[in-house]
Structure 1
């Protein structure tokens, strides 16, 4: 028995080992982009239709154009190609895509990797009705779509086994790519450990539709309502992270019969423009939006690193570069600006006073993106809330930080309290 290995330019793609190398050095590729590359190289003699890609890479026909575009862009970047050059992957308009670089097919003797590949193919991905008992991973999550009232398609995912934890959407997410993200991978695995995690990409980013009719805070709350119904949830704990905390607050206030308990991480009741107390703070809030307007539209990542350094203030240059690359895959430059403009106008102060379920507020003491004063404000507004300040400066706590284990422990203790069900 032999395994096929595909060589083009100075790249080698080995499907059995799930590996792409360049001049003998491994190239890191997100799983979805690798699967797309594998499909294109194995059919390098012809155009691969969009329908084939959806059926063989996503195993569904219901995938947004944005998700396909993101995977294609990621695959092209991995092999040093661009949509403008199309030196390796060419778009056949109205038909599909083709790998046009000359390909040499090499047969290599099978080893244990071939057995591993056969085992993977023989075991199809689980569905929502077949929960994973293994450690949560991208291969074990189920991604589905639902439609908002205005027609926007919202992608949501279910992974893990046990009691449900619903996570409200927030910015800079991608249901598929975040499994390899330096910011999100440990969050997803940690939150899904011992429970069923349901999460979704906000309209305008990730695997949800990017081109949508509405882009307001009320649209975000309505999307959470839509996902809850689509997932068949009745009563559940709700997690809100960053601006998603405000969405979670609004939902909990309006649907007290659904939310058993509320967890807010890095959240705020007032957006930057709403809480600005003087001209200097208003100018800083406006600068935040201007940076996004310039940064997302340029190839130079220096502007994007401003955001990365706020989310990961003690991160390495590599951490910032990885986060910058991930940011660009999550949304368009126009949508990034729209997000920040809407975030700046958020105001859920009145709604926060109407929350009646037990609430845990977690916040980094030296958060460089959202000051801890916002967490204290939430604790003062929400009845039956408890505030925990963690020893970190990160807006999204990193896996190697001591505060990460503490963060998860507080969530586990809070959700295991029988009075919070």
Structure 2
């Protein structure tokens, strides 16, 4: 998203302010204030809305607000005396008193090949990248193959999936904090995940929304739905599992996927790395899986991948299932081997008012180009769009 006004360009995607072609350094709160004003040029932005957007509704002194307004004026070449760009409406709020060109932003919004990154700050100060695209019912998507918004967008198959979703829904996605696993207990990690969800849904203006949880996104989704039942309208669990490998019969046998990661993850294009991913997606398409592996090897070290595997193996959400009150749909591949169909049945049986759709595939989740992909999309769309 780009806003052009006076001699300034506010590039929201890059989080950059330019004036006369030169980068102007601004604090995050000043940038947020400029973005808020640029969204409604010529209109009064009330003081209460400014506090809610820039300071997330926290108490803030008049002197702090005045300092940020002064910094915003200085950044765009204005001052409190002339107020030719940012005008104060006494005792009411602010107004961007200049025309704003948003043609580039509109073209970008309608371009299916463009992803717009935004940033929200949690109550603990963590910056959470997120994207918001499409129209329709508000849907938060949690969990993906690569756990990275930019890497996911680079994958043609995943971009097709996301485009299909944004054609039907107002889709919100975010980057989780990858550090949260290695330095925390399991409960602290889930608390951080919940804090991330609260942060991005507030930034997106989602009050009540549905959740599409794929893969390990099942776990934070269930924790959130159990803790905030009034916020979650509907829940879709796709390719998830109730209990990891450590809780299942036969767990005493060696973990072959873990061995493949240990042996070959650090070698680019390794057959071992491909083998670990094909365990999840045996039906392919093969080219899509190969591109996933390439992206993931550039993002995550062997140690990180082993940690993700161990976390999934040891996880269990059985105790949470009775506390999930919203209508729930479970989608799962009939021939999935890593997290087999009985795990999906546990989810559906344990959650009140849940149903299960079995997909004719060996993939954990059908990829675009897979025979079960259309059924997958039609099932989740019909469920989410059905009247309450």
TM range (shorter): 0.5 to 0.7
Q: Are the counterparts in 2 of residues 271 and 347 from structure 1 also a CA contact under 8 Å?
A: yes
Match of 1:143 among 100, 108, 117: 117
**Aligned twin of 2:294:** 325
**Aligned twin of 1:176:** 150
Q: Deviations over 1:105-136 (max 9, x none)?
A: xxxxxxxxxxxxxxxx995345xxx994x4x7
Q: Describe the shift of the 1:276–1:201 C-alpha distance in structure 2 as closer, same or farther (beyond 3 A).
A: same
In the alignment, the residues of structure 1 paired with residue 352 and residue 181 of structure 2 have an alpha-carbon distance, to the nearest angstrom, of 38
The answer as to 2:163 corresponding to 1:189 is yes
Match of 1:283 among 244, 253, 277: 253
**Aligned twin of 2:327:** 358
Q: How does 1:18-417 map to 2 (within 5 A)?
A: 59-61=14-16, 123-125=103-105, 132=109, 134=110, 137-139=112-114, 141-148=115-122, 151-204=125-178, 213-214=183-184, 216=186, 217-218=189-190, 219-273=192-246, 275-278=247-250, 281-285=251-255, 287-299=256-268, 301-315=270-284, 317-417=286-386
Q: Deviations over 1:37-93 (max 9, x none)?
A: xxxxxxxxxxxxxxxxxx98953259xxxxxxxxxxxxxxxxxxxxxxxxxxxxxxx
- Give 1:342 shift: 1.7
TM-score (norm 1): 0.62
Q: Deviations over 1:173-195 (max 9, x none)?
A: 32123233154222211211122
Give the SS at the match of 1:124.
helix
Structure 2 segments unaligned to the other structure (5+ residues): 1-9, 18-100
- Give 1:152 shift: 4.1
Q: Deviations over 1:181-231 (max 9, x none)?
A: 154222211211122100112222xxxx79985474413333223322332
In the alignment, the residues of structure 2 paired with residue 322 and residue 215 of structure 1 have an alpha-carbon distance, to the nearest angstrom, of 33
- Give 1:397 shift: 0.6
- Give 1:161 shift: 1.6
Q: Describe the shift of the 1:298–1:142 C-alpha distance in structure 2 as closer, same or farther (beyond 3 A).
A: same
Q: Are the counterparts in 2 of residues 183 and 398 from structure 1 also a CA contact under 8 Å?
A: yes
Structure 1 segments unaligned to the other structure (5+ residues): 1-54, 63-120
- Give 1:312 shift: 2.2
**Aligned twin of 2:22:** none
TM-score (norm 2): 0.67
Q: Describe the shift of the 1:403–1:346 C-alpha distance in structure 2 as closer, same or farther (beyond 3 A).
A: same
In the alignment, the residues of structure 2 paired with residue 172 and residue 267 of structure 1 have an alpha-carbon distance, to the nearest angstrom, of 16
In the alignment, the residues of structure 1 paired with residue 352 and residue 312 of structure 2 have an alpha-carbon distance, to the nearest angstrom, of 24
In the alignment, the residues of structure 2 paired with residue 395 and residue 334 of structure 1 have an alpha-carbon distance, to the nearest angstrom, of 23
In the alignment, the residues of structure 1 paired with residue 301 and residue 228 of structure 2 have an alpha-carbon distance, to the nearest angstrom, of 32
In the alignment, the residues of structure 2 paired with residue 210 and residue 220 of structure 1 have an alpha-carbon distance, to the nearest angstrom, of 8
Give the SS at the match of 1:142.
coil
Give the SS at the match of 1:394.
coil
- Give 1:243 shift: 0.9
- Give 1:248 shift: 0.9
Q: Are the counterparts in 2 of residues 182 and 323 from structure 1 also a CA contact under 8 Å?
A: no
Q: Deviations over 1:257-278 (max 9, x none)?
A: 00011111011111222x2224
Choose 349-358 or 227-236, whichever is displaced more. 227-236
Q: Describe the shift of the 1:317–1:196 C-alpha distance in structure 2 as closer, same or farther (beyond 3 A).
A: closer
In the alignment, the residues of structure 1 paired with residue 198 and residue 324 of structure 2 have an alpha-carbon distance, to the nearest angstrom, of 17
Q: Are the counterparts in 2 of residues 370 and 395 from structure 1 also a CA contact under 8 Å?
A: yes
Q: CA RMSD, aligned part only?
A: 3.0
In the alignment, the residues of structure 2 paired with residue 344 and residue 378 of structure 1 have an alpha-carbon distance, to the nearest angstrom, of 16
